[in-house]
Amino acid sequence: MIVVAGGGAIGASVAYHLALLGARDVVLCDRGEIASGSTSKAMGGVRQQFSTAAEVRLAKESIGFFEQLGPPYFEQVGYLFLATTPAGVERLEQRLALQRSLGVPCERARVPESVRSDDVRGAVACWQDGVADPPAVTRELVRRAAQHGVRVEEGCDARELDRDVLVVCCGPWSAELAPELPVRPLCRQLLETGPLELDAELPMVVEEETGFHFRRRRDRLVLAMSDAAPRCGFDTDVDRSVFGDRLARLAHRFPAAHGTQIADAWAGLYDMTPDAHPIVGCIADGVYAACGFSGHGFMQSPAVGRALAEEIVLGRSSFDLSPYSLTRFAGESQFQETLVL
């Protein structure tokens, strides 16, 4: 029996692709409910714009799946990065060259009229990217997996099940099942405004220098930004002290939101690794992992699910998983991902 531990986007994708490859006796289990962990708290961005080839390739391999899903699961409104300093423009240009070399259709872009641009020195966008509904996508994957014979168990601890193969997809909790995994939790907070008049085509907008970013979700905006001091650990209390700062940043970059208030806020957990790249592949005899995505798991879940399922069922993957091997931590990391939002 193959037990996939973790009912978020990654675990759902692995289970679904295992079933597609003909694996039998597959169980997808979660201690809580499907899509109730980090997936339920995610921003829902889907982008191919990363600073390292390894991350770009994973995201590029995933975008086709989201395109096939389409609305309401995925809205292909694009990702827009704005730079306000010469150094920021240089970073955008360096990443643009890398991304284009790997086949991602990024381009220098015009800033939408609704977004303040008088202080913007450069902008880059990929209009193939967009925003999605992570819990809805995950539940759809689970529905498809169940149709192909996967058994879904909620309120079930994977350690209580007999198995031949264990696949650890537990996000920040992965080290509970495999202590050798260098995965640690990092709290990230999202804020949602009250209702606004918004263009349905508003892209995800990201400030290069600050990391402040926002997206449309129905008639509201969801905002996020790294904390000044990283909040490591499993505490997911909302820090209301940042509300004023985030609203001021929003009013500056998106003037139509001036005067709005925070109507809702929540915090979730990133599963961080030392180099901000995931761990994907075999980690011990009969044990595989897909975790440590450092905030990028949902958007990379289609490619990861397929690649890992191929390795488990076929003994090899059509996608090169070597950059994501656990063994890389035996030496010095050579390719730190810097674009963690």
Residue 340 resides in a domain: no
What is the mean pLDDT of the segment spanning 173-192?
A: 96
Q: Is residue 91 a part of any domain in this protein? A: yes
**pLDDT at residue 332 is higher than 90:** no
**Structural domain includes residue 62:** yes
| Count of helix runs (H) and strand runs (E) in the chain | 6, 18
Q: What is the model's pLDDT at position 65?
A: 95
Q: Is residue 339 part of a domain?
A: no
Which pTM value belongs to this model? 0.93
pLDDT of residue 121: 97
Q: Assess contact for 138 and 33: CB atoms under 8 A.
A: no
Pull the structure tokens for residue 158: 């994977």
Query: Is the residue at 123 inside a domain?
Result: yes
The per-residue pLDDT for 221 is 98
pLDDT of residue 293: 94
- Domain membership of residue 174 (yes or no) is yes
Q: What is the pLDDT of residue 336?
A: 67
Displacement of CA 298 from its chain's centroid (Å):
4
Range of the domain at 42: 2-330
Element at 276 (helix H, strand E): none
334: which residues sit within 8 A by CB, 6+ positions away? none
CATH of the domain at 34: 3.50.50.60
Q: In b/e form, how buried is each residue of 213-233, taking b as 16+ CB within 10 angstroms?
A: bbbbbeebbbbbbbeeeebee
293: in domain? yes
222-235 confidence digits (pLDDT tens): 999 999 888 999 99
Write the DSSP symbol of residue 80.
E
Q: What is the pLDDT of residue 215?
A: 97
> Is 150 a member of any domain?
yes
Is the pLDDT confidence value at 210 over 90? yes
Q: Tell me, what's the pLDDT at 337?
A: 61
- Confidence check: pLDDT of 338 > 70: no
pLDDT, one tens digit per residue, over 160-179 is: 999 999 999 999 999 999 99
Q: What angle do CA 257, 263, 268 make, to 5 degrees?
A: 110
Residue-wise pLDDT for 264-277, tens only, equals 999 999 999 998 89
Distance CA 297, CA 18 (A): 18
* Confidence band of 340 (pLDDT split at 50, 70, 90): confident
Contact 262, 192 (CB under 8 A): yes
Domain count, the chain: 1
Give the C-alpha separation, 133 to 136, whole Å.
5
Q: How far apart are CA 123 and CA 137, in angstroms?
A: 30
In this structure, the number of other CB atoms found within 10 A of the CB of residue 251 comes to 15
Predicted confidence (pLDDT) per residue in 4-47, tens digit: 999 999 999 999 999 999 999 999 999 999 999 899 999 999 99
Question: For the segment 116-153, what is each residue's pLDDT rounded down to a tens digit?
Answer: 999 999 999 999 999 999 999 999 999 999 999 999 99
| 279-331 pLDDT per residue, tens | 999 999 999 999 999 988 999 999 999 999 999 999 999 999 999 999 988 86
